[in-house]
Amino acid sequence: MKRSLLIRILTCMIISVHISCNKFLDTTPTNTLTEQTQWASEANADVYLNGIYQRLNRPNTPDPLDNYTDDNDGGPYWLSWQWKQGIVTPEIEDGHPMIQDAVANDFTGWSYTYDKVRRCNEFLQQTELHKNNYSTAWYNKRRDEVRFLRAFFYAGLWQHIGGLVLLTEPLDRKEMPDELLYRKRNTFEETFNFIISELKDIVDNAYLAVKYNNGDSDAGRATLGAALALCGWVELYAASPSFNSSIPAAAEGTGAAAEQTTLVGFGNYDQRRWEIAAATNRKFIDLYGGTYRLFDNMELLWSEATEYNSEVIWDRQLKANVTNLESDFAQKGGPTYILGKYYTWGNFCPTQELVDAFRMANGLPISDSQSGYDPKHPYLNREPRFYYFIVYDGAPYKMNWMPQTDTIYTRIDRVNPSKNEIELAQSDVTRTGYYFKKRMDPDNEPAAWSYGINYIFIRYAEVLLNFAEAQNEAYGPNEVYAVINELRTKRGLPSIEDTYGASVLTQEQMREVIRNERRVELCFENKRFYDLIRWRIAFDVMNKPLHGMKIQNSSPNDNAGEWQYERLPLNNHPHVFSKKMYMNPIPYTVIAANSKIVQNPGY
């Protein structure tokens, strides 16, 4: 059971504003806090701050970012169909078609982000004005927490929009002149520099803890580990081909004006950006590599019992059966029918493209003639992560809450029909021949609003991959082997040397290894979308048809023949990606209200 002070306070705030939460929040009820009392004490100010933490996004939607990639086919009946078909304008869904609701992908929306930023700026302004009410330790720590949250919110929107209007104080329509209220966008580079400066300053201040563990009273709050890891990721993102270029991806072929180009990328290539990203991620490994480390068991990494394990760097606290702290994630994914009973909507359906990315047990890709891959038995002798993450035809499925093991069949079988049989229509069963198992709750059966496993934003495996990529791009593969081997061997794969023998990988070959490791290791963690965007491959990848696996017997009436595996094009769920979609548009309502805001290219 969670014992974090933060989540106890949030739970109490949500359950009742009239009843105090035992000793955990011995302060004025939140519904009676005035502007004066709000900032009169550390406890009252914490109430405001906890409200900001509560606005961190959570995976409560059938349209995760993975649904906008080549890893997942979630069906055409959610808002993602617009983006998938290239229908993206400043007017549709207020410019952010990736929002099915306002809790999961709200970081892609302008208004949602600036509401959070305003709250951060209000906290920073008011705690400065009432500084005498707080201890120095509390003041320093809480302000750096809020600066981290503001940088995190800005970074989320920056990845989808580019240059932002950087606000560091609350806007006041009564007191501020128009030139302060209506501001133009900062450039892509200026926004990047602000985020990085804030994060590095937080790390240098060292007011925050490096990490919290399960049961710590402050678990769920920002840490030095989170600040440095986010810094390394933002630097890697900025150094990537879509932005670290004379012509940024969103400006190519879109008729971008010079000013627009500066809003969606640097407008020049600089090798040092890779070097800086490599140095920051190396710094994390060197400083915190003993505190953070890869978790031993991937099957148990996502569970309430293992929250804040050694791999978790930054997460969003969730708690089952508590309004605004719960999630319905488990109801949206996993097999639709388990032991004959309907459980889930089956929205997260791995594509054949993702399944093919999993290596064989010997570490080789299935395309390698030495891998041992058998297309007539495609699920034999695959790497361990395949069995941890993917539910395939004939897969044994057993969670702790289940009384016995089920076998999930997605094949078309007239003799022994399965309720999980592949179907390309509008029902909840798989459209690809696969379900996923990763991140499903091992201890509680899937039901509406019952998911309480924390949502992990950043974990140590990603830092290792971030370093490996930046180091390879900056200096070549020599120092990358050890890091990639650390990840591969922990996940049950042979080392690169054991897999490829004495041959030395080139930078290009190592790039392919790293990119594949990212795809497999981080699948269904909302990472693939950003990789497609920043690697500048979304236009090529997302305009190709995706596939599922159709399995049927050559003698369908008696199953006396052999089972045949056919790659099935998912033609009824087409993807259209235009180059302007490397960035989302600025909402029409924003530009209509402020003529100084310049639209992104192509919109």
What is the rounded CA–CA span in Å between residue 385 and residue 350? 14
Q: Does the pLDDT at position 15 exceed 60?
A: no
Tokens representing residue 413 in the block: 């079988």
Distance of CA 459 to the CA centre of its chain: 11
| C-alpha atoms less than 13 angstroms from C-alpha of 181 in its C-beta half-sphere | 9
Q: Collapsing DSSP states into helix, strand and coil, what is residue 569? A: strand
Q: Does the pLDDT at position 146 exceed 90?
A: yes
Q: Give the confidence band of 27 by pLDDT, cuts at 50, 70, 90.
A: very low
- Give percent of the chain above pLDDT 90: 77
Cα separations (Å) of 199 from 3, 24, 115, 145? Answer: 28, 30, 21, 10
| Conformation bin of residue 508: beta by default, left when phi > 0, alpha when psi is -120 to 50 | alpha
Max CA pair span of the chain:
82
In sequence order, what are the beta bridge partners of 382? 360
Average pLDDT over residues 223-236: 98
| C-beta of residue 581 within 8 angstroms of C-beta of residue 236 | no
Distance of CA 117 to the CA centre of its chain: 20
In sequence order, what are the beta bridge partners of 31? none
Q: Collapsing DSSP states into helix, strand and coil, what is residue 478? A: coil
Q: Which DSSP helix (H) or strand (E) runs through 552?
A: strand 547-553
| C-beta of residue 588 within 8 angstroms of C-beta of residue 599 | no
Burial of 475 (0-12, 13-18, 19+ CB in 10 A): middle
Q: Does the pLDDT at position 2 exceed 60?
A: no
- Give percent of the chain above pLDDT 70: 91
Q: Does the pLDDT at position 1 exceed 60?
A: no
Among 68-82, 249-263, 529-543, 577-591, name the one with the lowest average pLDDT. 68-82
| Conformation bin of residue 372: beta by default, left when phi > 0, alpha when psi is -120 to 50 | left
Average pLDDT over residues 501-506: 84
Count Cβ neighbours within 10 Å for each residue of 59-89 and write b for 16 or more, e otherwise. Answer: bbbbbbbbbbbbbbbbbeebbbbebbeeebe
Average pLDDT over residues 75-87: 75
What is the rounded CA–CA span in Å between residue 282 and residue 463? 9
What is the rounded CA–CA span in Å between residue 267 and residue 188? 9
pLDDT tens digits for range 268-302: 999 999 999 999 999 999 999 999 999 999 999 99
| C-beta of residue 86 within 8 angstroms of C-beta of residue 68 | no
Q: Give the confidence band of 5 by pLDDT, cuts at 50, 70, 90.
A: low
pLDDT tens digits for range 359-401: 999 999 999 999 999 999 999 999 999 999 999 999 999 999 9
| C-alpha atoms less than 13 angstroms from C-alpha of 188 in its C-beta half-sphere | 31
Residue with tokens 């133009």, as numbered in its chain = 184
